[in-house]
Structure 1
Amino acid sequence: MPNWAIDYVTVATTRGYMSVDPADGERLFRLRVHIPGFAWEIGATDDLGLLVDVIAAWRDGVALDVLAAEFEFLELEEFAGALDRGEPTSSQWADLLSSDDDSGDLLRRLHADEGLRTMFPTITHRAVRLRVDPMDWRSHHVLVYEVDTERYMTEGPGAPRAEVPAGDLIRHLRAALDEGQ
């Protein structure tokens, strides 16, 4: 099999998608959790039986503290807890706002708006993506690119690319996101 081939298994759950990615050249199964626009590894094991058990338990909604106690290979970080509590959006905002990313000024501007703060943010290709529902990849979203400190470019499904002055950005984004709901 070519080295570039991707062989992984994905399982849908109410907590997001899980994927199992077998390591090359060794018996090791890496377990990842995915929600649209965001993925993170939560552990790895060489025991296929344990892997199946943890996926079933995760899918069945077993509490994170129980999972962590029962499956020692899991590395359940704060974001997994936020996802489990049904608040991934606030956790994601906190994480992005505390990073040293170039998008910091734009993120702070977006987060300052009470309506936009409820959207799930991700950084992709030097743009901020705001998604209405973090658990649904088909959910309405909008991308915001900073052209300079006074202009932004926005685009989204069903919305043409638009250049927006900084003073109109929040109103424009709220309208674009409201149209898709």
Structure 2
Amino acid sequence: METNRKSLYPDVTAAGGLGPAMREAAQLRGCDTGVAPWAVDVVVIQTARGFLAVDPETEERLFRLSVRIPGFDWEIGSTGDLGLLVEAVAAWRDGTPFDELAEGFGFLELDAFVGALERGDPTSSQWTELLSSDFNRNQWNLLRRLRADEVLRNMFPTITHGAVRLQVDPLDGTSRQVLVAELDGERCEVMRVGVPEATWVGVPTGDLIAYLRAALNEE
């Protein structure tokens, strides 16, 4: 398999790995992919629209590009052209609108991905997943209470160290988000992630929904 990979990806082999090859190709084209200096064979790039992952095929020369957020992984296209790949990654990272990306890079297949975002599928599917997993049984009551609210059910939920994390934008790790931990039937603790000197604040259960709505809708 290693011999086959070398024959399919001589540029990657010569550069010392996928990461160095992408950095070299981007430098030649004057663009920035955000590939970390330490990335060698595994390339996952953090962007404002999710993590981009690049995976080379083993049977043919093809770089598969996918978007990853917690619980989801969409393949959005593939190409054998490393130069075209890095230009597309750089454009995605720069925030180029989806329609312009699709028009400028014919190998990208964004209809299903964009459609899922517009329908809110990632968020609703994530709620269902968390509420059907026995691993999260201790958080089920809190999750049900949060999802019952017409505003909070539109926030993307994950579980972090036993606390429920609600995030406004599932693709943007810097978007407004809170952590919620249930102490007992009367009180919860909430932390506003990303604010200066963030700390846990006790909130009466009866005030929880209003508190979270305010925290997640602040500008």
Same fold (TM over 0.5): yes
Counterpart of 2:188 in structure 1 is 152
- 1:163 paired with 2:199, answer no
- Checking the alignment, whether the CA contact within 8 Å between 1:93 and 1:111 is kept in structure 2 is yes
Unaligned stretches of 5+ residues in structure 1:
23-28, 66-79
- Checking the alignment, whether the CA contact within 8 Å between 1:15 and 1:84 is kept in structure 2 is no
Matched residue type, 1:133: D
- Checking the alignment, whether the CA contact within 8 Å between 1:82 and 1:91 is kept in structure 2 is no
Task: State the shift of 1:173 in Å.
Answer: 0.8
Looking at structure 2, the residues matched to 92 and 132 of structure 1 have their Cα atoms a distance apart, in angstroms, of 13
Task: State the shift of 1:17 in Å.
Answer: 2.3
Q: Considering only CA atoms, is the larger Rg found in Structure 1 or Structure 2? A: 2
Stretches (4+) displaced over 4 A: 11-15, 29-32, 39-43, 48-56
Unaligned stretches of 5+ residues in structure 2:
1-37, 57-62, 89-100, 103-107
Looking at structure 2, the residues matched to 31 and 120 of structure 1 have their Cα atoms a distance apart, in angstroms, of 23
Please list the CA deviations of residues 6-39 of structure 1 after superposition, one character each: whole Å capped at 9, or x if unmatched. Answer: 74213568863222479xxxxxx9976423xx15
Matched residue type, 1:9: V
Task: State the shift of 1:94 in Å.
Answer: 1.7
Counterpart of 1:131 in structure 2 is 167
Structure-2 change in CA distance of 1:51 and 1:167 (3 Å): farther
Looking at structure 2, the residues matched to 30 and 62 of structure 1 have their Cα atoms a distance apart, in angstroms, of 11
Looking at structure 2, the residues matched to 53 and 97 of structure 1 have their Cα atoms a distance apart, in angstroms, of 41
- Higher helix proportion (structure 1 or 2): 2
Looking at structure 1, the residues matched to 208 and 142 of structure 2 have their Cα atoms a distance apart, in angstroms, of 10
Please list the CA deviations of residues 73-117 of structure 1 after superposition, one character each: whole Å capped at 9, or x if unmatched. Answer: xxxxxxx79746552111211221222213111000000110111
Looking at structure 2, the residues matched to 98 and 50 of structure 1 have their Cα atoms a distance apart, in angstroms, of 42
Matched residue type, 2:145: R
Structure-2 change in CA distance of 1:41 and 1:172 (3 Å): closer
Q: Normalising by structure 2, report the TM-score.
A: 0.54
User: What is the percentage of aligned positions where both structures have the same residue?
Assistant: 48
Task: State the shift of 1:50 in Å.
Answer: 9.8
Counterpart of 2:128 in structure 1 is 94
Structure-2 change in CA distance of 1:86 and 1:14 (3 Å): farther
Structure-2 change in CA distance of 1:175 and 1:63 (3 Å): closer
Structure-2 change in CA distance of 1:52 and 1:114 (3 Å): farther
Looking at structure 1, the residues matched to 199 and 155 of structure 2 have their Cα atoms a distance apart, in angstroms, of 20
- 1:108 paired with 2:144, answer yes
Q: Normalising by structure 1, report the TM-score.
A: 0.63
SS at match of 1:34: strand
Matched residue type, 1:98: S
Q: CA RMSD in A?
A: 3.9
- 1:19 paired with 2:53, answer yes
Counterpart of 1:176 in structure 2 is 215
Structure-2 change in CA distance of 1:82 and 1:151 (3 Å): farther
